[in-house]
Structure 1
Amino acid sequence: MDQVLGRQPDPDLWVVVATAAAALAVVLPNAVWRVARNAVTIAHEGGHALVALLTGRTLTGIRLHSDTSGLTVSRGKPRGPGMVFTALAGYTAPPLLGLGGAALLSEGRITLLLWLATALLLAMLVMIRNVYGVLTVLVTGALFLLVSWKAGPQVQAAFAYAVVWFLLLGGVRPAFELQRERRRNPTGASDADQLASLTGTPPALWLFLFHVVSLCSLTGGARWLLGL
């Protein structure tokens, strides 16, 4: 517990820059992104689930699919603030988690970040309702547990910075993908369309909000990570 709650030394600047470059190399190429996007989906659906619980809704289950889509089901009032915040939480969760992680890393709380991520993944695992989802969360959680339990300080630092950079950078791309998908296939089933239906506002307003949150989180998180 002393190690978890204590501060760890900051990595060298070249490690911070190298992990940012590695995260960018994962986010930009389509072939790599199609696999890595599963981690963003975990954060996306986890955001829906957490806010559903915080707003008093009953969480029924979470499904993660091999095409990197997901579904979080909760029971409660079909309209109202609870449903709005639950729908809003998906696309905003990955960049905001990245921003929170950057804040912890700026304070030297590297081990605490890894253990918090592991705890969140284990809590999410209880609500997964399909085999692929269970395997995805188990593998991700096992990786965090292995690094936080067995790896040395330098490896922990590099891993933590890479994860946070990935959430910050990977949190930007889904909003652009959603915007492009809505132009090609406007089914009305996206989070932006659901928010528009719940609030009587244009879907473009919510798309704009997703962009603002992700880009502002990336800007603020990068400043923290780079010590600016």
Structure 2
Amino acid sequence: MNSAQLVDHGSSLLDRLTTTQAQPPWWLVAGAAVVALLLVGYTPVWRITRNVVTIAHEGGHALVALLTGRRLNSIRLHSDTSGLTVSSGKPYGLGMILTAMAGYPAPPLLGLAFAALLGSSRITLMLWTTIVLLAVMLLKVRNVYGVLTVVGLGALVFAVSWFGTDTLQAGFAYLAAWVLLFAGARPVIELQRGRRRQLRGRHTGDVDSDADQLARLTHVPGLFWVLVFGVIAVVSLVLGAGLLVSDAAEVCVPLLSDGSCPAPA
């Protein structure tokens, strides 16, 4: 690609960022949903897919830490799909509570935000929003595996958005949104299973999950926070699915479809 082609491609990209794209056919949206369900539900593949969810999870902690005035020190992503976000500030209070709470809701809420963009036919904007978020997160990643994971995912999204056909871009974007929406609940289920194992024969103060950190900060049982995470995941999935399906399948969903639904005959 020479310089003239590069400039022309960049100009075309700018136009696509500020305009809408054609809605993909219903079979592509449905196919992306099926593939996403397999990526989340099939355990051998989930071990890979969960890396994407961990990026969103730790990104949620990091974003809320900054928004609440805490100092963000580092983000680490590990090969076992765990992660750690370290921020400094008061070890108590609203800022700490919101930061601890932000991890598990982040993937489904991000999926819901992506679904809103796709439901508004903003496919290119959704892809480049992802690239920007990954680039910003990379600034605070402090281990080699984390850097490789974030850079690799960012490179994949860039390649699809820059070189991919319209159909490939739409399929990839809808797949990403579906994965985040479907993946909201599984980590919450795994969280509770892990808590149950850890709590056997141990004191509650020894368990260090997000829910148990919140329990110590708020004096509200950890199970309550697990339920809050689960409700957010389910509500995000229902709303996000409505946004993704309504226009592509030409189904009018009140409050979600563009415009107003026609009155029944």
Q: TM-score range by the shorter chain?
A: over 0.9
Q: CA RMSD in A?
A: 0.7
Give the aligned partner of residue 153 of structure 1: 166
Instruction: Tell me by how many angstroms 1:172 deviates.
Output: 1.3
Instruction: Tell me by how many angstroms 1:129 deviates.
Output: 0.5
Asked if residue 201 in structure 1 is aligned to residue 201 in structure 2, the reply is no
SS of 2:73 mapped into structure 1:
strand
Asked if residue 216 in structure 1 is aligned to residue 235 in structure 2, the reply is yes
Q: Percent identity?
A: 57
The letter of the residue matching 1:191 is: D
Alignment length (residue pairs): 228
- d(CA) in 2 for partners of 1:71 and 1:160? 27
Instruction: Tell me by how many angstroms 1:5 deviates.
Output: 1.6
TM-score, length-scaled by structure 2: 0.85
- d(CA) in 2 for partners of 1:5 and 1:154? 19
Give the aligned partner of residue 76 of structure 1: 89
SS of 1:185 mapped into structure 2:
helix
Give the aligned partner of residue 45 of structure 1: 58
Greater C-alpha Rg: 2
- d(CA) in 1 for partners of 2:244 and 2:17? 20
Instruction: Tell me by how many angstroms 1:45 deviates.
Output: 0.2
Give the aligned partner of residue 167 of structure 1: 180
Give the aligned partner of residue 191 of structure 1: 210
Instruction: Tell me by how many angstroms 1:137 deviates.
Output: 0.3
Among 134, 138, 155, the residue aligned to 1:121: 134
The letter of the residue matching 2:227 is: F
The letter of the residue matching 2:237 is: L
Asked if residue 90 in structure 1 is aligned to residue 90 in structure 2, the reply is no
Q: What's the CA shift string for 1:125-183, capped at 9, x where partnerless? A: 11000000000000000011111111121111000000000000011100000011111
Instruction: Tell me by how many angstroms 1:35 deviates.
Output: 1.1
Unaligned runs of 5+ in 2: 1-13, 200-205, 247-252, 254-265
Give the aligned partner of residue 102 of structure 1: 115
Deviates more, 1:169-178 or 1:182-191: 182-191
Asked if residue 16 in structure 1 is aligned to residue 29 in structure 2, the reply is yes
Deviates more, 1:146-155 or 1:163-172: 146-155
- d(CA) in 2 for partners of 1:49 and 1:112? 22
The letter of the residue matching 1:207 is: V
- d(CA) in 2 for partners of 1:49 and 1:122? 13
Instruction: Tell me by how many angstroms 1:2 deviates.
Output: 1.5
